[in-house]
């Protein structure tokens, strides 16, 4: 009888979650205009243009939130 070993993917192997500006605004409960003002002022999370779409990775959003913790308190 052979023992089965279940393979659990590491966190590095899990695909990154990509969010739209609308997703982020909904999550943070802010107007979309606020997000775009942050972008103009280089204050918001790092964003990537994929084709004509703007996307923010979950990890970049979480890092940005951690660095702006005092601003939201």
Identify whether 4 is part of a domain: no
Identify whether 44 is part of a domain: yes
The predicted-structure confidence for 55-69, as pLDDT tens digits, reads as follows: 999 999 999 999 987
CA triple 7-57-25, angle to 5 deg? 130
The predicted-structure confidence for 13-54, as pLDDT tens digits, reads as follows: 468 999 999 999 999 999 999 999 999 999 999 999 999 999
- Boundaries of domain holding 50: 18-72
Identify whether 57 is part of a domain: yes
Q: What is the CA radius of gyration of the chain?
A: 17
Identify whether 24 is part of a domain: yes
Q: How many residues does the chain have?
A: 73
Identify whether 9 is part of a domain: no
């Amino acid at each position: 009888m052979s023992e089965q070993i279940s393979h659990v993917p590491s966190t590095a192997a899990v695909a990154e979650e990509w969010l739209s500006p609308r997703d982020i605004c909904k999550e943070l409960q802010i107007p979309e205009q606020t997000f775009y003002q942050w972008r103009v002022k280089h204050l918001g999370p790092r964003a990537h243009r994929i084709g004509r779409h703007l996307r923010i990775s979950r990890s970049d959003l979480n890092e940005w939130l951690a660095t702006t913790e005092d601003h939201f308190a």
